[in-house]
Amino acid sequence: MTMPNFLIIGAPRSGTTMLYEGLKQHPEIYMSSDKEPWFFALEGNKEPFRGPRDLQGVRDLEEYRALFRGARGKKAIGEASTLYLYSPEAPHRIQQHIPHVKLIASLRNPVDRAYSNFLQHVAQGREAEDFEAALNAEEERMKRGWAPFWCYRRMGFYAEQLSRYMALFHSEQLLVFLYEDIERDLLGVSRKIFQFLGVDEAFMPDLSVMRNVSGIPKNQLAHRVVDALLTGARPVKAFLRPLLPRGLRWHLIARLTDLKNRNLVKPPLAPEMRKKLIQVYRGDILKLQELIQRDLSSWLK
């Protein structure tokens, strides 16, 4: 049965949803309907995650393969599990199952990433603590079996995480972007990925459905309704697929996405907390600069 030939491996809250939505539009690419099955991080693990409304992921190989049943005839087949970058087990499992896979990583300033992750959980009604208290609760939450996405601070050590992949895969199998690249030139990044995957680079994705904003809802009820329409068990795009042509479907989804984003307000991160977290990440950021040969000095300010 079919397995993916490329993976978006992370990091969470670093533009991966934008990339997923753009790749899903390409006629030569098949993306699993479940954006984040997490299979290679969880294979064989029977212990459930115990955090508030934690998703459980796909843990069985046959169930994972079933996600790609509709991929016949596609040049590029993929999924976007952001847990893979963080997971120590994922690189070895990926190499075992699909050794020639192509890997895509998007990396965001780890301080901003952690805070965005926190705000996402607040918006979902899952996070009851303030940011500092949530950071202090990480170790206890892990002991209690909460999913790794509650590790706001721990998920940001990219040099350590990326090194595990670089030790196992050839450099031509790995494509790394910064979140700033996506923010500055989403179309350009999309076309570099199309080239990397060997599909038509001239394809023009609808960028209006590729924006994923974090923040706290001004109207919680409106947020829940629109979020359910976009990402629930029966999303509106699946319902509309047999009823409307592709262009009209994407237009409606873009309007709903814009409505959701305009309902969000992002409270600023306290400067003292930013300074504290920069010191936490400083060593890893300096290592990452050398690893990916990019200037990350802005992450240290």
Q: For 87-144, how does the pLDDT look when each residue is reduced to its tens digit (9 = 90+)? A: 999 999 999 999 999 999 999 999 999 999 999 999 888 999 999 999 999 999 999 9
What is the token pair recorded at 279?
């010191």
**Residue 80 backbone phi and psi in degrees, to 5:** -140, 70
Question: What distance in Å separates the CA atoms of residue 42 and residue 294, rounded to the nearest whole number?
Answer: 31
For the stretch 245-253, contacts whose Cβ atoms lie closer than 8 Å and that sit 24 or more positions apart, written own/partner, are 250/25, 250/206, 250/208, 250/209, 253/209
pLDDT for position 31: 98
Give me the average pLDDT of each 10-residue run along the chain (301 residues). Answer: 95 96 96 96 94 95 97 98 98 98 99 96 91 98 97 98 98 98 96 98 86 62 59 56 60 62 78 98 99 98 94
pLDDT for position 83: 98
The end-to-end CA distance of the chain, in Å, is: 48
Q: Which residue has the tokens 């892990």?
A: 142
Domains located in the chain, CATH noted:
6-207+282-300 (3.40.50.300)
pLDDT for position 266: 79
Phi-psi region of 144 (alpha: psi -120 to 50; beta: other; left: phi over 0): alpha
Beginning with the edge strand found earlier in the chain, give each strand of the sheet holding 102-107 in spatial order: 29-31, 76-79, 6-10, 102-107, 174-178
pLDDT for position 262: 67
pLDDT for position 278: 99
pLDDT for position 208: 77
